[in-house]
Amino acid sequence: MDITEVRIKLMEDPGERLKAFCSITFDNCFVVRDLKIIDGSNGPFVAMPSRKLTAHCARCGMKNHLRAQYCNQCGAGLSQDRMPLDADGRAKLYADIAHPINSQCREMIQEHVINEFYDELDRSKQPGYVSRYDDVDIDYLDEPGENGPQRSRVDRAHQRSAPHESQAKSSGTTPHNAPPLEKGDSFGSGIF
């Protein structure tokens, strides 16, 4: 497995510890987004994407963040002993979404990302600099088909909806009174 692309989104405030977000592509076919580049005591390091852990309210079953003292749904007091603990006995508030499972993979990711981070810092000093990170979602490669390049279903679905968006902007309409979908279009029609 090879890292075939790294895209960096530099943060605007250089005084913060969070220096950048990045995405990495493996073998030109799998992207992991929202890795963070953080300024540590020994230089920048890569933090994997994570999500906040939640627990259910005993009274109504609503999910709430582990630090919440009261349920967001019913207002009941929440028990503080519902927090899972890590190996050091500290409350575990976040869980990694994606992460390497051995040190060799972690070091490979760290090396590629930090090298690209420094390259991106150099590029950001050039006139006309634009980050490539923001166009990750629209860079799906056209796949060759029988009749030449074809766009993915997601891209085709977006193209179908684009006229509605531009019409709504120009006419001042809102999404609630936008023109109806074309015949055959339905919720989830672009999902395969």
For 42-93, the pLDDT digits (tens) are: 999 999 998 888 888 889 999 988 888 899 999 999 887 777 777 887 878 8
Can you give the pTM of this predicted structure? 0.60
pLDDT of residue 122: 94
pLDDT tens-place string over residues 143-190: 444 444 444 444 444 444 444 444 444 444 444 444 455 555 554 545
Q: Where are the domains of the chain?
A: 3-49+98-135, 53-96, 148-177
The set of residues, in sequence order, having a beta carbon less than 8 Å from that of 186 and lying 6+ positions away, is none
Q: What is the pLDDT of residue 124?
A: 92
- Cα within 13 Å of Cα(35), Cβ side: 27
Residue 52: the pLDDT is 86
Whether residue 6 is predicted with pLDDT greater than 70 in this model: the reply is yes
Pair 1, 26: CB distance under 8 Å = yes
Q: Count CB atoms within 10 A of the CB of residue 74.
A: 11
- Of 1.10.3720.10, 3.30.1120.40, 1.20.120.80, 3.40.50.300, which CATH number belongs to 3-49+98-135? 3.30.1120.40
pLDDT digits (tens, 9 = 90+) for 118-147: 999 999 999 999 888 865 554 444 444 444
Q: Give the pLDDT of residue 135.
A: 59
Return the pLDDT at 79: 82
On average, the pLDDT of the chain sits at: 77
pLDDT band at residue 37 under the 50/70/90 scheme: very high
What is the spatial distance between Cα 76 and Cα 144, in angstroms, rounded to a whole number?
Answer: 57
Decide if pLDDT at 115 tops 90: yes
